[in-house]
Structure 1
């Protein structure tokens, strides 16, 4: 069993969206550990936030399981290039697209580009996220509230709406929720609210698309060692991140990848409308 570092971590800070390459310790996305078994052979996946964190881990796993991958990312050029390189080294095609998914026109163009290159979408992973911490509701500006919803929730709607016409029976939509969907951190009020909305959207959309044979599920992570952490927490909070969970540490991104593979693979044909908690032992409500 892999032994991962536990707090205290070195105190550190980055500007959002941040880079995994500048984190200490550098997260494990499965670069050396994920061995594929062809579970997604011949499929096409679009992953938002695919440059780093959970999205990078999912991209590596999907490629090594046989899928071609389209990566959506904001402006993290080096991280995205490194992830795309790993996808191609796995013998799969990779389309890498930068841009701001808070813009609905970009969301639609993103899907158009993927379909133009691959002809279809079999797996859609809505994973990109934005968060900031605030001690008081008065400190959350209108602009920050809207940005959090635009990235975390509105983009999920726009991208999914554009992608569904290009998905056939057996397709899978996987949304990244959070333990904050059910157990909100009060300092993450805007973020937690969007994650609750994502969980509700997932359950409703699963019913709406059931007749079409497209499955819709969510993964709800607990604390995960990604660039969002040094980008949004104080250095002191980063140092102690994850210590209050049963495993006494945050997850490494690779530890989330198996849930996304399971939800995408054709053998999970009856699994829809579910939220899979990956929380290190802390129960969701």
Structure 2
């Protein structure tokens, strides 16, 4: 089975009131953990690569690892560029075999965002690749994306119809209160998603797939392990999973998860090395890290996204 686009995935997800998990990948162990979980519960997958991941692991290595995952699992897998900053990086990924790209023009003016996004859409569609755009800015830090709380902004529902019609995007990332990173909220601040905005967007864009970025829940058990072995994540607060489940039953067809994977992997490595300080074989300490990835992804697929059995 070759790489697929997200078009059919999103159509089924919208009609079935569930969401597809979009998991960020950086190396072999992360890909193996994600794919092993999805294969076990027969879930479709979006494996997404950030600009930082391409710099770290190299575009070719990552695409070949994803191709190996398809061969090993037989699952429908979409390879997606996460937060493409400009036309050039989107073009590079399109030409390099990606089946989906995100162009993030949210930091531009509305008019410039439309112009940039349409340019990417025109090129991508000519190559059979789908495009995700973004309106509104999420706070937080993820690789090259760094938006302060002061500069974050909710999506304005009255802009979505014009944006989609003028750009031709295939899906739209909106800002309703999620945030990148593990430190999503200030201490004592209660996480809250703006479902009123989501409902208004859904009304204005019927049957159109919506995307949530920054949707990690910051799994407490991994935070506790990291803190136990020298970490400092006491103020890490994620998005409550019941809110994500509610969103996935509405227009949200794609939910991005990255920080939870980083926490799970780091917890596995830290705990193993703390308990076995004499070991220096990466295969030994990356094995529990990979198992943690599998556990957290399986939980998300079944209990949060509801996409198990949908492959």
TM-score (norm. length: structure 1): 0.39
Look at both structures and tell me which one has the larger radius of gyration over its CA atoms: 2
More helix by share: 2
TM-score (norm. length: structure 2): 0.37
